[in-house]
Amino acid sequence: MQAKTIRRWSWIHKWSSLVCTAFLLLLCITGLPLIFHEEIDELLHESVPAAQVPSGTPAADLDRVVAGGMAHAPSEFLQFLIWDRDDPNVIFLSIAKAPDAPSENNRFLRVDAHTAQFLDAPDVFGHLTYYLFKLHVDMFAGLPGKLFLGFMGLLFVVAIVSGVVVYAPAMRKLDFGTVRSKRSRLVRWLDLHNLLGAVTIVWAVVVGFTGVINTWADLVLKMWQYGQLTEMVGPFKGAAIPQQMVSVQKAVDTASAKLPHMTPSFIAYPGTAFTSTTHYAIFMRGNTPLTSRLLQPVLINARDGSFTDTRTMPWYVQTLLLSQPLHFGDYGGMPLKIIWALLDVLTIVVLGSGLYLWLARRGPSRRASKAHAAISAKAAAS
Amino acid sequence: MNPPKRNAPRPLSRIFAIPLVLGLVSGIGLVAALVGDDLWDAIGWLGLGIPLAVTVWCLWRPKQRIM
């Protein structure tokens, strides 16, 4: 490689890293506990357990589940009914002040899926994991914060790619994984930076880029609303939210009959962002680890219970849905979560050592920085 | 690896050989755990665990203490 090319890539590596490092440190540090958010919530917050029932116990009628929960929130409206992925004995009811109110600040009610008994209403906004989550997702700055962090994520990917290019001249005379322990601190940290960068690279690119995709979730939802959802709703667009709705259990039965090989994942009630003003949208998922991440909505007219339409979701929604497990690391049990955490810690060291290398090479004066340059040149040559 | 050749420049294929293998096993691990459960999960743990094991070995092998 020509010296000019190396200098150019070094410049890209330096500046893409410097701009994003502080935010990437925030993301890695808040992301670390979020890998274990369920365990942390369980540890810090009491919750009423659902009844332990023998496997094969039939689920309670959903209309009873809804009635059991909503009796504890008489002046509020049900927006989403969600089957708990982690605990099949629990159903979440996501409720708001109006059927078509924004859903960001919804309260949650937990209801027993078999007995239809109300369990509790966890105060999720008071949970530590909620603050970490908000810091991680948008720094409490809404969509602009999200998109900004997404841009930082893109810079992170640029930093990784340019890091691969500058890795070659740095390792020209070294075996893989060499840490020159008897050399100056700068050389040791350079070696550590190169080693840890090299071992975490694929994981970091995948987690980094799927994180970027996740920052576009709101935009993806908007695209789907204006595209496929509008087509599916057709002439029902703009209809009034029904005062009386048909049985939600019947709606789910109809949806399950249409897609017998799928399992209901959540239901969006009329007026919410995931459906029209007059349909239940029953979102069905597949039954393998991969297809259980993919959703297919079935629109059921909430006025009369008739089937309106179902379609597989467009590629941009599927991409978002598949990118989620790859970002969260929640798809391979506890061992995968621990591996996620360890790789996250290594990434923190890569970020920190990169920052240190920049500071140390900058030095207090030009003379010092020239001396450092000489040291690193010598280091690279030896 | 012989002492006289230690300082000879390595070709790119040599520099990137191990990182490439580690990248491949990481990639296989990332996808495998997504495809299925049980055995697939185990392949996932192994694939992503190998780069971690290599890191530990590089840092704590004899005579190579970093601090």
In the chain, the amino acid numbered A235 is P
Mean confidence (pLDDT) of chain A: 93
pLDDT at B1 over 70: no
Structural domain for A195, as ranges: 3-38+132-215+332-381
B→A contacts (Cβ < 8 Å), by residue, are: 1, 6-10, 12, 15-19, 22-23, 26-27, 30, 33-37, 40-41, 44-45, 48-49, 51-52, 54-55, 57-59, 64-67
Predicted confidence (pLDDT) per residue in A180-208, tens digit: 988 999 999 999 999 999 999 999 999 99
Spatial contact of A241 and A271, defined as CB atoms under 8 Å apart: yes
- Please give the average per-residue pLDDT across A68-73, as a whole number: 96
Write down the ipTM of this complex: 0.87
Q: Which of B19, B44, B52 sits opposite A201 (nearest CB)?
A: B19
Q: Which residue has the higher pLDDT, A72 or B4?
A: A72
Residue showing tokens 């979560």: A337
Distance (Å) of CA A88 to CA A63, A85, A183, A269, B30: 17, 6, 56, 21, 26
What pTM was estimated for this model as a whole?
0.89
Mean confidence (pLDDT) of chain B: 86
Handedness of CA A360, A343, B54, A160 (dihedral sign): negative
Q: Which residues of chain B does A382 touch, with a Cβ-Cβ cutoff of 8 Å? A: 7
pLDDT of residue B63: 60
In a domain, A96, yes or no: no
In a domain, A237, yes or no: no
- Please give the average per-residue pLDDT across A361-376, as a whole number: 58
Which of B5, B34, B57, B61 is the mutation pick for testing A, counting most A CBs within 10 A? B34
Predicted confidence (pLDDT) per residue in B16-47, tens digit: 999 999 999 999 999 999 998 899 999 999 99
Predicted confidence (pLDDT) per residue in A346-367, tens digit: 999 999 999 999 999 886 654 4
Q: In the sheet that A295-301 helps form, which strands lie side by side, from edge to edge? A: A118-120, A107-112, A90-96, A77-83, A263-268, A279-285, A295-301, A307-310
Report d(CA A275, CA A262) in Å as an integer. Answer: 19
The token pair that represents A205 in the structure block = 């690119």
CA angle at residue A122 from A99 to A295, to 5 degrees? 55
In a domain, A190, yes or no: yes
Calculated CA dihedral for residues A196, A201, A206, A212, nearest 10 degrees: 80
In a domain, A119, yes or no: no
Please list, residue by residue across A287-305, b when 16 or more beta carbons sit within 10 angstroms of its beta carbon and e when fewer do: eebeebbbbbbbbbbbbeb
Q: Which residues of chain B does A322 touch, with a Cβ-Cβ cutoff of 8 Å? A: 34
In a domain, A137, yes or no: yes
Report d(CA A163, CA A217) in Å as an integer. Answer: 28
pLDDT at B67 over 50: no
In a domain, A326, yes or no: no
pLDDT of residue B66: 47
Q: How many CA atoms lie within 13 A of A89 on its CB side?
A: 13
In a domain, A15, yes or no: yes
| Domains contained in chain A, number | 1
Predicted confidence (pLDDT) per residue in A17-41, tens digit: 999 999 999 999 999 999 999 999 9
